[in-house]
Amino acid sequence: MSTLAEYKIIDNNLEVNYEIITPVDISTMLNDEHGNIIAGLNNVEECLSRNQKTIDELNDKINNKLTSHNDGIDNIIAVASGIISGLIDSFFVGEFSLDEGTKWGKEKVDSFVQNVAKRQGYNGDSLSGAVKFLEDKFPIPADSATAIFGGGTQHHLRDFSHHPTPLGLLFSMLTQFTGKVYGTNTLGAFVIEDVPSTDLIGKDFTSKLAIGFTHWIFHVVSDIAGSSSSIAYGKYGTGLPGPFLSLLKEISSLPFFSHQENNNKFCVFISKLFNGTLLSKRGEDGKIIPDSVIKFDLRAEIGVLYELGKQAIPVIINECVVRISYFVRRLVLEFKSKEIKTFNDFIYNIEWKNTLPFNNRTIVRMVTIASGTFVAIDVADAAIRSGLKSGGEPAAFLNNMILQVNFVGLGRFAVAIGTDIHMGYKKGKLRDERMYRQSEQIMLNCAKVYYKQADMWLSARDAAEAIDKMKAVAEKSIAFYRESLAEIGIDLYNMGQCKSGIEQNNPQLLDNLSRILKYGK
Report whether pLDDT(92) > 70: yes
Question: What percent of the chain has pLDDT above 90?
Answer: 43
Q: Which helix (H) or strand (E) holds 395?
A: helix 394-404
Q: Which of the four pLDDT bands, split at 50, 70 and 90, describes residue 15? A: confident
Q: Are 162 and 156 in contact (CB under 8 A)?
A: yes
pLDDT tens for 332-390 read 888 887 777 777 777 777 888 888 898 899 999 999 999 999 999 999 998 998 888 87
415 sits in the region (left: phi over 0; alpha: psi -120 to 50; else beta) called alpha
Report whether pLDDT(29) > 50: no
Q: What share of the chain is helix, strand, coil (3-state, %, to 5)?
A: 70, 5, 20
Report whether pLDDT(395) > 60: yes
Report whether pLDDT(31) > 90: no
Give the DSSP letter of residue 91.
Answer: I
Prediction pTM value: 0.71
Q: Are 314 and 89 in contact (CB under 8 A)?
A: yes
Bridge partner list, 16: 9
Q: State in Å, rounded, how far the first CA of the chain is from the last one.
A: 64
Q: Which of the four pLDDT bands, split at 50, 70 and 90, describes residue 13? A: low
Q: Which of the four pLDDT bands, split at 50, 70 and 90, describes residue 3? A: low
Q: What mean pLDDT comes out for the span 395-411?
A: 85
pLDDT tens for 54-81 read 999 999 999 989 999 999 999 999 999 9
Report whether pLDDT(1) > 80: no
CA distance 489 to 97: 133
| pLDDT score, position 22 | 46
| pLDDT score, position 11 | 63
* Helix, strand or coil, per DSSP, at residue 466: helix
Q: What mean pLDDT comes out for the span 303-324?
A: 93
* Helix, strand or coil, per DSSP, at residue 188: coil
CA distance 198 to 144: 9
* Helix, strand or coil, per DSSP, at residue 19: strand
Closest CA to 322 of 357, 349, 291: 357
Q: Are 391 and 401 in contact (CB under 8 A)?
A: no
Q: Which of the four pLDDT bands, split at 50, 70 and 90, describes residue 26? A: very low
The answer to which of 114-123, 426-435, 459-468 has the lowest mean pLDDT is 459-468
Per-residue H/E/C for 229-286: HHHHCCCCCCCCCCHHHHHHHHHHCCHHHHCCCCHHHHHHHHHHHHHCCCCCCECCCC
Report whether pLDDT(7) > 70: no
pLDDT tens for 259-303 read 556 567 888 888 888 888 877 777 777 777 777 778 889 999 999
Closest CA to 204 of 179, 176, 185: 176
Q: Which of the four pLDDT bands, split at 50, 70 and 90, describes residue 35? A: low
Phi, psi of 67 (to 5 degrees): -115, 130
The answer to which of 141-155, 255-269, 425-439, 481-495 has the lowest mean pLDDT is 255-269
- Count of helix runs (H) and strand runs (E) in the chain: 20, 4
Q: What mean pLDDT comes out for the span 150-171?
A: 91
Q: Which of the four pLDDT bands, split at 50, 70 and 90, describes residue 461? A: confident
CA distance 239 to 223: 6
CA distance 418 to 307: 25
Q: How far is CA 489 from CA 171, 362, 495, 520, in A?
A: 125, 99, 10, 22
Question: What percent of the chain has pLDDT above 70?
Answer: 89
The answer to which of 29-33, 151-155, 317-321, 380-384 has the lowest mean pLDDT is 29-33
Helix intervals (H) in 298-360: 298-337, 343-348
CA distance 359 to 492: 102
Task: Pick from 238-247, 255-264, 474-483, 511-520 the range whose average pLDDT is largest.
Answer: 238-247
| pLDDT score, position 28 | 45
Per-residue H/E/C for 412-451: HHHHHHHHHHHHHHHHHHHHHHHHHHHHHHHHHHHHHHHH
* Helix, strand or coil, per DSSP, at residue 223: helix
| pLDDT score, position 82 | 95
Report whether pLDDT(46) > 60: yes
Report whether pLDDT(23) > 70: no
| pLDDT score, position 350 | 81
Mean pLDDT of all residues belonging to the chain: 84
